A and B are shown apart, each in its own frame.
Chain A
Amino acid sequence: MTAQIIPSKTSAEVALAEAFGTARAKLPGNAEVAQLREASFESFSKAGLPHRRIESWHYTDLRALMREALPLAQPPGAEAIAALGKEMRAAGLPAQSLVLVDGVFIPELSAKLPEGVRVSSLAAALAEGRRDVVTALSAEWAGVKDPIVSLNAALMQDGVVIDIAPGTKLDAPIRLVYASVSATPVAHFSRSLVLVGTGASVQISETSFGSGGRKGQINNALVIVGGDECDIAHTLSLTDTEPGSLRLESFMVKLGAKAHFDSFALITGGGIVRRQIFLRFDGADTKANLRGVSLLRGREHADTTLFVEHCAPGCEGRENFRYILDDEAVGVFQGRIHVAPAAQKTDSKMLCKALLLTDKVAMNSKPELEIFADDVVCGHGATCGGLNEDQIFYLQTRGLTFAQAEALLLDAFGGELVDELPDESLVAAFRAEIAAWLAKRPQGARL
């Protein structure tokens, strides 16, 4: 028998409780939403910050890693927004950009989207008590069991709600562009929703604008609900987190029947990143493809944790994640695939590959299959190691220096997943980001 240990609250937990206490009256939403916030905070508060004794957080012990809780971001002022707008016009934002500043949706900086797409702020939808929005946030959603998602539900300040009408076909991606005007590091909590109608086809790409777009403590959630026969391609570029920052990204996806879902994320940059994906196959014969590349150096820490639930028959899931770890970086990959009894003929393959460039890095890789249906094909694999010496030698015999050979192989390792993206401009953009990361390696250090 081990005694139940109820640890006292950490100072970060105490500060979060205070922040919620002060902010709750001002946070957007009708009475039902207020209740949801209370319940969510209660659920967070009971669990506390996740720590290593919670299995899904074992390798990212927030209790230890999050020493303090930063103050909540104030809504950006009109002057700051105007200055940012000027900067954005000068730089030229891509078409169909929706801009969020410190977690708040700013319509005046955002593009008008074509017919079939309706955009509003989360705050407005919550104030109005929009049924579908509130439902998408409510407890039946798998992710709500996670303390960090609960905390997000309690404190969400704003975000954007995008409705894609059934049958809408968009050629160019809708861009969620994150920016910051806060002068000091703050915490923000934002949540966005994309509701994709039956048979609609859409690309969503999450990027950021400007330097310092992502400093402080960020708790972001993106919810996508895809109707039957929809086709969704999502990308996330998480490449500008500053050292000392904390990034908590929850991505919740629920798909109807015969849908097609594709998601890719590139993670580089400082601080601590935890990305959690909750993917639920709700309708039959749907295909989903999750991919990610994490490039880490220094003492960076990036965790990608998947919860994939097969609830319907005949679905195909592909999860493919790669890590390059340099210096003393820490990579975490956890993939839990759950196949419910009803999900016969599930076809699931998960693969995680890590390249370890020094002997001081750590890669924690944990696939987990929970299969309750008998007629399924499920596989997973994980590899972890250095660059292939035979490949390096082959390249050297052709005249490439050791450093050039290494760079070419690293670029290929990350680039391979990028090359599978459906849109060529995205392929080029992500490959350029990988190349930029590689260019910062001290060349020839190991010659």
Chain B
Amino acid sequence: MTSTIPPGADAPPVEAAGRYFNGASARPHQVCLRLDGRFRVTGPGVARDWNPLDLRAADSMPPLMRVGPAHEPERVEFSDDALAAALAARCPDLHRRDEAGGVLRLVLWSVAAGLSVLLVAILGVPHLARLLVPLVPETVEARLGATVEPQVLRLLGSPPACTEASGRAALARLVARLAAAGQADGASPSDLAVSVRRQGTANAFALPGARVILLSGLIERAKAPDEVAAVLAHELGHVSARDPTRSLIRASGTSFLLSLILGDLTGSTMIVAIGQALLSAGYSREAERAADAHAVGLMARAGGNGAALADVLERISSDDDRRGTLDLLRTHPLTAERAAAIRALAGPEAPGRQILSAEDWAALKGICGPSP
């Protein structure tokens, strides 16, 4: 029982005319094709005799048919339905492709690969960012901040800087007091840069390289200087914990991996995603609690009211109608528990203190000049 005899070998032979190409030249040879137990190609100067089991058909549109032995450049072209049908019946491997099949396997593998990249992006990258941040030198972080700040400002709608001289002097005195208080526990960065921008939302941002942006909406809605100072101290808490740099590394890593699986490698989504992540993705709950504690401690040492942080957060959260997408509460969700923790840390006598004199507070209120 040998298996090399193709099925239907005892069927009547089929003949047709065709063109033979030897694979070495493009010259067509008119030939006669005959399929019996073998596939015979005969013509002037051509005599081929192929086993039908070795034949493979290349893609072609019926009635044209194109066959040749597997892995050989020789081809026969013909347009004859009877011969095509006979070949299809007697050559089981006629349409076999070395590569075909395995679509299900491909789908399963790529879904698995995609999920693993997704898991790395969600779980692995934040951990990696935490490990990497201490390795970033201060000079690199300063340059990072310089690169990122214009992008963040563009996403905020390019708000103009507030430069009223007396207001800036009051802000400088406030920053100096907080920095001096921070120096006591040696955690304050050397080149702190705090700027105020005219923007209606009540928020503040810490960027890499000890850059802090206060939006004028926050100063407008504060009822006491300590409220502004406490938010500033909270951002300084993020700065000294290097949260902005960690967030930047995490956002770049995640968006790089996501653009990898989404097939977009031109980097366009990446740049947008990084800025957006810095603005809207808040820090972890632990980072916020640490920044709160840092703020209260700083305010106490500077002779201010740490509990004002809870006051201003509560006031903003009650103004529901003015809440925008970049509101402080979006990035710093306020819970009753968080406010209570801030007040407990500040102690009962804190509300009696005030960090700036009345004149300085009035000057700070006017840092953006008369409102338009």
A binds B: no
- A→B interface (CB under 8 Å): none
- B→A interface (CB under 8 Å): none
